[in-house]
Structure 1
């Protein structure tokens, strides 16, 4: 029963995390091309508060619940889990980079790098790989 509760928490946190990351990617994409500075500043600051209140805690919960499940189920030496860590680390790093990019845009008026326009696709591809590895456990 504890495993299923942790798994439910993990899945909920993953949904919140991916939703927040996709929203951040959209904000960065829109911010780089449109909107008045005043509107962008209000919207961006509101989104950073959301990120701090929802998305970042979801990331921490994903890590804690995921590690608890992995070690609780004895999967720590599984190949599929080792492979799954790669896109998980990528998403964790991308979340940090998105936050830094938005803060620099709002506070220093630094333009968003064009590579951030690829973030939505990269998030979805990484998430698809994670889901496939977690559900099928092919190795």
Structure 2
């Protein structure tokens, strides 16, 4: 199988991982936004989301990075400006995920957490990533 033959499969795996990764970030943000308001239910929900994060969201993030680097290498885009901009946004989403993971862990053990208020960054970043990946300006 050549790189050209594998490209659609790499792209499909990258998109699937991206959907799971962003879904996990959004779910984490929703839990953290409501976790303080539901002090008695926040810890059990955080325990479930923490397990989801370890089993699905974190591996999906690693898949996004691995498949994305493979696609960029195969396409010869590593020095392209649009990819550099996209990478900055993906690093931002990865950092938000790391911060959320820590807060979810603290919420799961009953500690008080402050909301990240990262939704204002997540949604525009995901939109910009999609536009950059499809249009490749």
So what's the TM-score if we normalise by structure 1?
0.90
From 3, 12, 35, the equivalent of 2:7 is 3
Partners of 2:44 and 2:108 within 8 A in 1: no
User: How many residue pairs are counted as aligned between the two chains?
Assistant: 133
Matched residue, 2:37 = 33
Per-residue CA distance 1:110-129 (angstroms, 9 max, x = gap) = x3224x2x222321111111
Gaps of 5+ in 2: none
For the residues of structure 2 that align with 1:106 and 1:8, how far apart are their CA atoms?
A: 34
Root mean square deviation of aligned Cα: 1.2
Q: 2:75 corresponds to which residue? A: 73
Query: Structure 2 matches for 1:1-139, cutoff 5 A?
Result: 1-36=5-40, 39-107=41-109, 109=111, 111-114=112-115, 116=116, 118-138=117-137
Alignment deviations for residues 1-57 of structure 1 (CA, whole Å, 9 cap, x no partner): 200000000000001011111000000001022241xx3222111110011100000
The DSSP-based 3-state class of the residue aligned with 2:118 is: helix
Unaligned runs of 5+ in 1: none
After TM superposition, where is structure 1 displaced by more than 3 Å over at least 4 residues in a row?
Answer: none
Q: What is the Cα deviation at residue 88 of structure 1?
A: 0.5
Aligned mates of 2:124, 2:99 — CA distance in 1: 17
1:88-135 Cα deviation digits (max 9, x unpaired):
0000010000010111223261x3224x2x222321111111111111
State the secondary structure of the residue aligned to 1:33: coil
